[in-house]
């Protein structure tokens, strides 16, 4: 689709049913009925950055900060592997404590298990990304958040969008499977810029794209902003599936936070991945990117069972493979 076609669909709510059905068909034909589960470990909520939408931003003095050190982290990984996860995702704020050497040590230990490893730890130098890759990391998640340069500047004090682009292209050139994505519903975001976001995913040849509705957090400058719209986020996701047919697309936690059945609706509108939380329960509420996050009172075993049941209830199967992006599409 060209930009005009994408924008027209985003602006027109009369064709939503067609759009979601079409995205579901494209998903089935290109990546099948299997759902890939990724065990998400939120290992540090300490962050040097000040993204205006995020509860982990450094000026937030209200949340209690934590970091999970190597030995405990490896126990969490072991538990995820025991539960059957074939991918683990390490996610954190931009926490300088975990320098290149510490991360590489952790990566090497994790890769002794039979799992694919995804990192989501923010903007780093080319050399750091290279070191992580050499140590064994397979994938990297870094959302562009928005391709609208003015909005990006407004949302991210003191940093620039060029470095975000640089990171994504560095990761691609190093042979990572690269995940990116955007927030939907930021103040002053337009459907025109959301269409540009989708075109960017295609230009990057992203291997994975995660779309999340924006949810305002009380301890941020956007405390009084409006919630992102679940259905608009779902439309951006469905259009991403139609325009990048063979990639991996998660049904995001933020979608389920806004709609009680959000992940299942997403799985039926183009998504083929879910990222259940495998972090120990004691830390979950503290990784408060936004309020009302699901699964903060559950433990890893409960989440695994919960999501497996939901996926089976719609006739889909749980993949037993690593779930790399399929070759050739
Ligand atoms: N620090 C890393 C980064 O920013 O890439 C990884 C962790 S960050 C918490 C993961 C994602 O959370 C971000 O890419 C952003 O899109 C999302 N996020 C942050 N604040 C949010 C909010 N208020 N509502 C919805 N999603 C949010
Ligand atoms: Fe830090 Fe990521 Fe939150 Fe930005 S989105 S404040 S980089 S944790
Ligand atoms: Fe965590 Fe359902 S996936 S409670």
CA of 328 to the centre of ligand 2 (A): 33
- Alpha carbons 259 and 281: distance in angstroms, whole number: 22
Q: Closest by alpha carbon to 179, among 280, 73, 286, 323?
A: 323
- Say if 195 falls within a structural domain: yes
CA of 289 to the centre of ligand 1 (A): 6
- 80: domain CATH number is 3.20.20.70
- Flag whether pLDDT at 187 surpasses 90: yes
pLDDT recorded at residue 292: 95
Across residues 33-57, what is the average pLDDT? 98
pLDDT recorded at residue 270: 98
CA of 69 to the centre of ligand 1 (A): 22
User: How far, in Å, are 7, 138, 262, 316 from residue 25 at the CA level?
Assistant: 21, 29, 19, 14
Whether this prediction's pTM lies above 0.95 is answered by yes
Q: Quick one: what percent of the chain has pLDDT higher than 90?
A: 99
User: pLDDT of 126-175, one tens digit each?
Assistant: 999 999 999 999 999 999 999 999 999 999 999 999 999 999 999 999 99
Nearest C-alpha to atom 19 of ligand 1 is from which residue? Answer: 54
- Say if 327 falls within a structural domain: no
Task: Considering every ligand atom shown, identify the ligand nearest to the alpha carbon of residue 156 and give its number.
Answer: 2
User: pLDDT of 82-119, one tens digit each?
Assistant: 999 999 999 999 999 999 999 999 999 999 999 999 99
- Say if 137 falls within a structural domain: yes
- Residue 313 domain boundaries: 3-318
DSSP 266-304: HHTTT--EE--B-S-HHHHTT--SSTT-TTTT--HHHHH
Which residues does ligand 3 sit against, CB inside 6 Å? Answer: 276, 295, 298, 302-303, 306-307
Q: How many domains, in total, are found in the chain?
A: 1
- Say if 14 falls within a structural domain: yes
- Measured in degrees and rounded to the nearest 5, phi and psi for residue 145 equal 75, -55
pLDDT recorded at residue 77: 98
User: How far, in Å, are 38, 68, 280, 305 from residue 297 at the CA level?
Assistant: 19, 19, 10, 14
Contact 3, 199 (CB under 8 A): yes
Q: What is the chain's mean pLDDT, rounded?
A: 97
Contacts of 36 (CB under 8 A, 6+ apart): 86, 87, 248, 272, 273, 274, 319, 321, 323
- Flag whether pLDDT at 329 surpasses 80: no
**Which residue matches tokens 């709609």?**
259
- Say if 328 falls within a structural domain: no
DSSP 68-94: --HHHHHHHHHHHHHTT-SEEEEEE--
- Say if 221 falls within a structural domain: yes
Which residues does ligand 1 sit against, CB inside 6 Å? Answer: 53-54, 56, 91, 93-94, 120, 122, 142-143, 145, 183, 212, 214-215, 217, 254, 289-290
Across residues 43-55, what is the average pLDDT? 98
User: pLDDT of 237-249, one tens digit each?
Assistant: 999 999 999 999 9
pLDDT recorded at residue 327: 56
pLDDT recorded at residue 328: 42
- Alpha carbons 61 and 191: distance in angstroms, whole number: 34
- Alpha carbons 115 and 111: distance in angstroms, whole number: 7
**Band of pLDDT at residue 22, cut at 50, 70 and 90:** very high
- Say if 7 falls within a structural domain: yes
CA of 327 to the centre of ligand 1 (A): 29
- Say if 108 falls within a structural domain: yes
pLDDT recorded at residue 178: 98
- Flag whether pLDDT at 71 surpasses 70: yes
pLDDT recorded at residue 226: 97
User: pLDDT of 244-274, one tens digit each?
Assistant: 999 999 999 999 999 999 999 999 999 999 9
């Amino acid at each position: 689709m060209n930009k005009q076609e994408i924008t027209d669909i985003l602006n027109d709510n009369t064709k939503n049913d067609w759009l979601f059905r079409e995205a579901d068909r494209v998903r089935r034909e290109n990546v099948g009925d299997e759902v890939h589960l990724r065990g998400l470990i939120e290992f540090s909520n300490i962050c040097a950055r000040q993204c205006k939408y995020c509860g982990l931003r450094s000026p937030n003095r209200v949340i209690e900060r934590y970091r999970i050190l190597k030995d405990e982290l490896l126990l969490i990984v072991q538990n995820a592997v025991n539960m059957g996860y074939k991918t683990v995702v390490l996610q954190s704020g931009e926490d300088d404590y975990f320098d290149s050497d510490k991360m590489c040590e952790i990566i090497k230990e994790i890769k002794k298990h039979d799992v694919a490893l995804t990192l989501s730890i923010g903007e780093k130098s080319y050399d750091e990304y290279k070191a992580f890759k050499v140590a064994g990391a397979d994938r990297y998640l870094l959302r562009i958040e928005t391709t609208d340069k003015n909005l990006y500047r407004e949302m991210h004090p003191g940093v620039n969008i060029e470095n975000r682009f640089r990171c994504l292209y560095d990761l691609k050139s190093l042979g990572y499977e690269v995940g990116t994505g955007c927030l939907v519903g930021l103040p002053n975001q337009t459907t025109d810029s959301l269409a540009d976001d989708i075109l960017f995913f295609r230009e990057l040849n992203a291997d994975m794209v995660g779309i999340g509705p924006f949810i305002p957090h009380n301890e941020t400058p956007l405390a009084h902003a409006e919630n992102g719209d679940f259905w608009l986020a779902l439309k951006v996701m469905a259009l991403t599936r139609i325009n990048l047919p063979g990639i991996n697309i998660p049904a995001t936690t933020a979608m389920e936070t806004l709609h009680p059945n959000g992940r299942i609706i997403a799985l039926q509108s183009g998504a083929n991945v879910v990222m259940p939380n495998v972090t120990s329960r004691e830390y979950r509420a503290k990784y408060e990117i936004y309020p009302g996050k699901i699964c903060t009172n559950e433990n890893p075993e409960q989440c695994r069972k919960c999501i497996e049941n939901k996926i089976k209830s719609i006739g889909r199967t749980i993949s037993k493979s690593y779930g790399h992006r399929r070759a050739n599409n």
